[in-house]
Structure 1
């Protein structure tokens, strides 16, 4: 059995703690980048510099470029939208809703969603636009 002297230099460096730190930083980076994704990205039309009307429990209905409808970033059909909004309206009679339509989406698709909101008697309604840059 060989005994090592107290002043003898180490032959190798233990990199395990450094790898543990790198993995923790990688996990934190992944969590932070995926947490910043909010909803579906659409190209909004321009409007005046009006103040934001969004309320805390506001539901967002997004109509993407291809005509696909999303409720809070989850794709839904028009019937699923009717069902889910009906349930939310029953729980909160003053349900606020905002509609985000892409600039190239067909006007009829936006009107179909607005008609559905009218049928469900949702009166707290807003249309989302981009602010004009002057």
Structure 2
């Protein structure tokens, strides 16, 4: 007589579908990551200046738009529009975590000099020792 063999339950997990999903997600993130940029549209004045060193930490950028709106960008996300007291709080928090991180002021070319100087004084009161001013290279349009 023919005897039936008992099948044992398989305890292995088939991981091939998970690998496929992970590869698709990896491709999606690789394609979309360069497209995600945090920034504020500011028409910078043109000047010949030396850029930041490539090995330096990404700067915290405090921006003033032509509509006198203030923004803080830390390289990954943009906060704003903000009032001056909110800017002071955000910058102070960044400096507590990373005191040697560069601070840059990005002022639209149509903004009064007074607005940029007031922003720099606000940053100085928060303990910022050095503030850089952002410009566009002279040859760029």
State if a TM-score over 0.5 links the two structures: yes
Residue number in structure 2 paired with 1:51? 50
1:78-108: CA deviation from partner (whole Å, max 9, x where unpaired): 0001111111112222231111100001222
| Aligned: 1:125 with 2:131 | yes
Residue number in structure 2 paired with 1:89? 95
Q: Is the 8 A contact 1:42 1:102 kept in 2?
A: yes
Residue number in structure 2 paired with 1:17? none
Give secondary structure in 1 for the equivalent of 2:93.
Answer: helix
The RMSD of aligned alpha carbons is 2.6
1:34 CA drift (Å): 8.5
Give secondary structure in 2 for the equivalent of 1:130.
Answer: coil
| Aligned: 1:114 with 2:97 | no
Residue number in structure 1 paired with 2:61? 60
Mean Cα deviation higher: 116-125 or 61-70: 116-125
Write out the 4+ residue segments of structure 1 that deviate beyond 6 Å after TM superposition.
none
Give secondary structure in 1 for the equivalent of 2:104.
Answer: strand
Q: Is the 8 A contact 1:44 1:102 kept in 2?
A: yes
Q: Would you say how many aligned residue pairs link Structure 1 and Structure 2?
A: 107
The unaligned stretches of length 5 or more in structure 2 are 1-23
Q: Is the 8 A contact 1:97 1:126 kept in 2?
A: yes
Q: How high is the TM-score relative to the length of structure 1?
A: 0.68
- How many angstroms apart in 1 are the aligned matches of 2:68 and 2:103? 19
